[in-house]
Amino acid sequence: MSRLKNNKSLMQALSWIGMIIIAFIIFGIFLLMQGANPLEAYKNMFESTLTNQIGISKLILKSVPFILLAVATSISTRAGLVNVGVEGQLMIGMLFTITAANFLFTSLPTVLGLILLAIVGMLGGALYGGVAGLFRVKANMNETITTVVMNYISYFIVSLAVYGYLRDPEGFNWPMSTQISDSLTLPKLFGTVNIGIIIALLVVALVWYFINKTKTGFKMKVVCGNPNAAKNAGINVNKVRFFAMVATGAIAGLAGMIEICGVEGRLRTTTCQDYGYLGFLAAWMAWNNPVLSVATAVIISFLSVSGNVLEFKNNLPASSTQILMSIVLLAIMWRGKGRKES
């Protein structure tokens, strides 16, 4: 019996990898059509990203937000919700972080300041996610629609702040916030890589534990499986769903704090745009398994970092990376269709 199960898992793992290879073959055909040599293009992508410290650093740095946003999304999915809101929750998390960093905690010592900023960032994301959660449980509004709309609203809120009270007075009227003080940047592990990756992996472990080993995690599974049965079993379905939305928001807000304090240092109107959607896709590519989403987040990060080299070294159009990413995503999701749990 267990052997049968293992064989099944093996097949699934192999087919998952197989789909990625197929995606690269399809994209290779596209490259040929563009007059580029696919083998050379892939060689450039791997070499530039995986064989030197700068490339690996960028790969790790870029993976961090995708890991966190994917894990955040998977919590909501586990409670039976299709929450696309990590994009907006990330924005609001960044906004809260930069506001606190530039106006409240400017002169705090590093450790205290960063802990407070993490709390503030999570609070921002949790509030924004909580609003969508309220819409879901109080007004029975579809969370997919409300979160997408709220993502757009978050861009406007960020713009309003960046053009207004956050604007750098020495930035020649350019809409960007003042740089955060050096004492509030995340400590480095090596090179440009900061401790964000450790935080992200810790969060993954915590979420995995939470989903699989705690009572609330179990309740979420029941709600996801059959809300009516859950209700009959005495589970407060609305409470569980609201909690899932808030938890998703908090982790997305944490991702925002790490981006501001670890990578960007400023908030601009376009900072981290679309990261939330990529994180959402990373979660669904990983069948909403938090551990597996580390792998998918790294793949998305790899595509986005190495895609730059693909474009400028092989003279490919600027949209090539997006095309490659879409093919990989579609291929994996094709394989994963109908599958919710691992």
- Which residue lies nearer to other proteins by CB, 35 or 172? 172
**154/167 Cα distance (integer angstroms):** 17
CB of 272 to other proteins, least distance (A): 8
CB of 60 to other proteins, least distance (A): 13
- Which residue lies nearer to other proteins by CB, 172 or 337? 172
CB of 173 to other proteins, least distance (A): 5
- Which residue lies nearer to other proteins by CB, 59 or 250? 59
CB of 58 to other proteins, least distance (A): 6
CB of 175 to other proteins, least distance (A): 6
> In angstroms, how far is CA 51 from the centroid of its own chain?
25
CB of 138 to other proteins, least distance (A): 33
- Which residue lies nearer to other proteins by CB, 146 or 271? 271
- Which residue lies nearer to other proteins by CB, 56 or 195? 56
- Which residue lies nearer to other proteins by CB, 103 or 163? 163
- Which residue lies nearer to other proteins by CB, 24 or 134? 24
CB of 15 to other proteins, least distance (A): 11
Report the interface residues with other proteins, using CB under 8 A. 6, 9-10, 12-14, 16-17, 20-21, 42-43, 46-48, 50-52, 54-55, 58, 159, 163, 172-176, 263-264, 266, 268-273, 291-292, 295, 305, 308-309, 311-313, 315, 317-318, 342
Contacts of 328 (CB under 8 A, 6+ apart): 20, 23, 24, 27, 299, 303
CB of 292 to other proteins, least distance (A): 7
- Which residue lies nearer to other proteins by CB, 142 or 214? 214
- Residue pair 43/105 in contact (Cβ under 8 Å)? The answer is no
Q: What SS3 string covers the chain?
A: CHHHHHHHHHHHHHHHHHHHHHHHHHHHHHHHHCCCCHHHHHHHHHHHHHCCHHHHHHHHHHHHHHHHHHHHHHHHHHCCCCCCCHHHHHHHHHHHHHHHHHHCCCCCCHHHHHHHHHHHHHHHHHHHHHHHHHHHHHHCCCHHHHHHHHHHHHHHHHHHHHHCCCECCCCCCCCEECCCCHHHCCCEEECCEECHHHHHHHHHHHHHHHHHHCHHHHHHHHHHHCHHHHHHCCCCHHHHHHHHHHHHHHHHHHHHHHHHHHHHCCCECCCCCCHHHHHHHHHHHCCCCHHHHHHHHHHHHHHHHHHHHHHHHHCCCCCHHHHHHHHHHHHHHHHCCCCCCC
